[in-house]
A and B are shown apart, each in its own frame.
Chain A
Amino acid sequence: MVDMFASCTLLSVCMCLPDYVCVSRRGLRLGMAKVTQVDFPPKQSVSYSKETQTPTCTQTHTQAKPGSPSEEEEEEEMAEPKPAEESQEEKADQEEKQEEVAPKDLTEEEKMQLLHSEEFMAFFDRGSRIVERALSERVDVCFDYSGRDLEDKEGEMQAGAKMSLNRAFSDERWSKNRVVTCLDWSPQYPELLVASYNNNEDAPHEPDGVALVWNMKFKKTTPEYTFHCQSAVMSAAFARFHPNLVVGGTYSGQIVLWDNRSNKRTPVQRTPLSASAHTHPVYCVNVVGTQNAHNLISISTDGKMCSWSLDMLSQPQDSLELVFKQSKAVAVTSMAFPLGDVNNFVVGSEDGSVYTACRHGSKAGISDVFEGHHGPVTGLSCHSAGGPVDFSHLFISASFDWTVKLWTTKSTRPLYSFEDSCDYVYDVMWSPTHPALFACVDGSGRLDLWNLNNDTEVPSASVCVNGSPALNRVRWAHSGREIATGDSDGQVLVYDVGEQICVPKADEWTRLVHTLVEINENRDEGEELAAQRLVA
């Protein structure tokens, strides 16, 4: 009897199923349903028993509408086969379902609808409450009092972090929309850093030149001191033997002096804007000498070099025109003094050449030209890590031609060219403690650390600044453990360098000697080959 009924209902199911399926499912599944129907009858007969009927809601349905029992029976059958069918389908076509579900993504509209639905609000209410409670619990059940945990952590962090961002300095009012033009660390207070900025094009009423003194020691996010002046500041430095003074070289050619003892934000002393001083932008300022005998040296882009006494900025003590071969004025963009030298120095110019020069003596002025760069020289640095071997004849230069070149004052051809960058290299600096380590920054936001003893082809450590702004300046802290970079968005970022990179081992100096010998040999070989090719 049950079987007969089952077969009747099977027929009805066959006829009715398509309609129901169309309404609630897509046509694709229609095909699959027909296939599984073959297995249906036995299952159906089993499920069609009073016991299983009771928990389902269709029981009340049949009782409520006795007038159309066949319809109700059909509906019951609908309810029964549907879930059975689903489970069948799920088992058989789980893969297909997964395929369907995985790529199906919700559109923004659907997401918004979901987010506005009642059940979502209820869920979110409950869920967020629990999560907030859990978040507020600061109990660390895994804390190990023996300290083993911390040791592991330190080891990992050392191994992993070659360079990690320590601080980011920027000021909403004074550094936004300005480019960082120069950086300098204070020699007396290692936590102080001065950054100079050029003008803010969006704020013509604000002073064009800003210099901010930042403090690394405290968590304060505002500058220690804020200084202004009327012209964009292109270079800045702490006056080496005067802890209260900050020197700035500006776009107008004026050199300004700020004093943090005064309450004013404007300079306490200014050089005159006359032909005796500078009339072109001053990109290089430096205090050289000793405590008792020091001068402020400044060079402007028209090749004029002036030396000043910090007590009297009304006129230069000495001035010198830097001309090459008595005719070509050198457009100086960068300057560097070798360690311990107050007379001889190197300058980089806009035409791509580096020149050595000296201040005093019969041959005062430009001595030699070092040609090699194909674009303006943006940064120069003389070797300054003192140690058992003297490398003060080495210097490096960065240029718009995407390269950093290593030179020695003993030869006018570059020793080596570092060509890993894909953008203008804006600045370069030797580490003050490690003899073979230097840092360079380029326009794509990369800060690279090169270790000559490790590898001369690729940087030993590299980090890309968030947002890839052009990095304009790089300065090692005097300890050699931190690097500050200034970018085109007015941000100053200070990175901690991992010990394994920045702390020199005892044999670094001797290794560098060997490295230099290798570099020299390679260079001579390279030149021989080039010469042979030319001949052939």
Chain B
Amino acid sequence: IATFLGRKLQPRPQNEVEETLKRIQGQKGVQGIIIVNAEGIPIKTTLDNSSTVQYAGLIHQLVMKARSTVRDIDPQNDLTFLRVRSKKNEIMIAPDKDYFLIVIQNPSD
């Protein structure tokens, strides 16, 4: 099937995505990377299944809330980046219209 959602697929080398993921994963302290789609379903992950599902579900809700907060305050505004800093680690979320990229890092590593 050469079309998806009525759009033609561009065959890009999957290596690019894999390489970038490997590079990010190799950075100091990175514990895991998850890519989630707009519905909260993880489509790529470097963590085990149960953690992925947990993170994806919880972070999806958080991003939705954060985004709606930003938009409620100013409808012209939109969420561009979300960083959750905790005692043990840091979760960085790069949201987009259709996907989020979640990276979990332990900065003291």
Contacts and interface: CB of A to CB of B under 8 A. Distances in A.
Interface of A: 101, 104-106, 111, 113-121, 123-124, 126-128, 130-132, 134-136, 138, 140-142
A124 B83 contact: no
Contacts of B9: 113, 116-118
B10 A127 contact: no
11 contacts: A113-B4, A113-B9, A121-B12, A121-B16, A123-B98, A124-B35, A128-B24, A128-B101, A131-B24, A134-B81, A134-B83
Interface string B1-15: 000100101111010
A127 B94 contact: yes
A117 B94 CA distance: 18
Interface of B: 4, 7, 9-12, 14, 16-17, 20-21, 23-24, 27-28, 30, 35, 37, 39-41, 43-44, 80-81, 83, 85, 92, 94, 96-101, 103, 105, 107
Contacts of B35: 124
A230 B94 CA distance: 58
Contact of B99 (A127, A132, A134, A135): A127
A104 B105 CA distance: 29
Contacts of B23: 132
Contact of B24 (A115, A118, A135, A140): A135
Question: Which A-B residue pairs are the 4 nearest by beta carbons?
Answer: A127-B94, A127-B101, A123-B96, A111-B43
A interface, by DSSP: helix, strand, loop or mixed? helix
Nearest to A119: B98
Given A123-B99, A131-B24, A118 B10 contact: yes
B101 A131 contact: yes
Q: Which DSSP category, helix, strand, loop or mixed, fits chain B's interface?
A: mixed
Contacts of A105: 41
Contacts of A130: 80-81, 94
Contacts of B83: 134
B92 A131 contact: yes
Contacts of B21: 128
Given A106-B43, A116-B12, 10 more contacts: A104-B39, A115-B44, A117-B9, A121-B17, A124-B35, A128-B20, A134-B81, A135-B24, A135-B92, A141-B85
Given A113-B4, A117-B9, A136 B101 contact: no
A45 B103 CA distance: 49
A103 to B, nearest CB: 11
Most chain B beta carbons < 10 A, residue from A111, A113, A135, A140: A135
A515 to B, nearest CB: 38
Contacts of B81: 130, 134
Chain B CB within 10 A, most for which of A104, A116, A140, A142: A116
Contacts of B100: 127
Contacts of A136: 27
A329 to B, nearest CB: 52
Contact of B105 (A119, A120, A135): A135
B85 A142 contact: yes
Given A116-B11, A123-B99, A140-B107, A134 B92 contact: yes
Contacts of B107: 138, 140
A106 B52 CA distance: 14
A120 B27 CA distance: 22
Contacts of B12: 116, 121
Contacts of A132: 23-24, 27
B105 to A, nearest CB: 6
Contacts of B98: 119-120, 123
Contacts of A127: 94, 96, 99-101
A409 B60 CA distance: 65
A55 to B, nearest CB: 15
Contacts of A124: 17, 20, 35, 99, 101
A380 B81 CA distance: 60
A106 B41 CA distance: 7
A115 B12 CA distance: 9
B48 to A, nearest CB: 13
Contacts of B43: 106, 111, 114-115
Contacts of B41: 104-106
